[in-house]
Amino acid sequence: MANPFVSSTQSSLFPLTFPSVRISKDEYHLFYSYERALFQTLVAIVNFGVNEAALVIGFLLWLERGGYTSYPLGKFFHSSLSVDAINEVADEVLICIKFLQRKASNLMSEGSSETCNISKLQCFLDQKRIHLDELYDYGDLIYDEVCCIATDLSKKAFEDMLNLVALPDHRTMFVTFSKGYPLSADDVREFFTGMFGDIVESIHMQRPVVLDGQPIYARMRCFIA
């Protein structure tokens, strides 16, 4: 089977670099201004971790460079989507990343890869669609490219924001739930408030990855003591 992710015009979708051209930090910041704004939204408002947010944006750029969409996704998401919508699409990107990391066996065990809902993300792919089984089969290749993009962005486009978001990250904890015992955000808040007092600043419940499923984790941000 031919690799559907190999570019016919270049050996790799990334990096798209020009070694003889020196690009300043300000030029990087300007070029990736919408990605920077999206990164800040994901980390400071949606409560994604720094690495998680960088991977999400890296995957979106990989989709652009891979010819999946004609939209500049960073600009479109930041300018046109609500925070809740950004959160939902980013959660679907994380499903794709789990397939790239070959960590999707627990998702696939509940049914075929088609039961993993990435329909909102697919809406922005007007050139070709993502197939999760192909992401799984070619995960090593694609994940390496996505990580290269995310690392490059972190070093050159997001570096001044990393210190600004570090403190909120230290206040965020991940809470996992047992299958078969669905909980709401109110349930989680009530439990921790009863145990430790008024420590909960915000709770972000994962959107279920399968239809009629339950959240399997939440991100909870605590007040500074």
* CA torsion through residues 64, 56, 90, 84, sign: negative
3-state SS class at 210: strand
pLDDT of 15 above 50: no
- Is residue 66 within 8 A of residue 5, CB to CB? The reply is yes
- Residues 6+ positions from 65 with CB-CB distance below 8 Å: 13, 14, 16
Per-residue pLDDT of 59-113, as tens digits, reads 999 999 999 999 899 988 988 888 889 999 999 999 899 888 876 555 554 444 4
Comparing CA positions, the residue from 124, 130, 151 lying closest to residue 14 is: 151
pLDDT of 142 above 80: yes
Each domain of the chain, given as residue ranges in start order, spans: 25-166, 172-222
- Is residue 201 within 8 A of residue 223, CB to CB? The reply is yes
Higher pLDDT, 116 or 190: 190
Q: What are phi and psi of 175, to 5 degrees?
A: -120, 125
pLDDT of 36 above 60: yes
Mean pLDDT, the chain, rounded, equals 78
Q: What is residue 121's predicted lDDT score, i.e. its pLDDT?
A: 94
Comparing CA positions, the residue from 98, 111, 93, 85 lying closest to residue 213 is: 111
Q: What is the pTM of this model?
A: 0.65
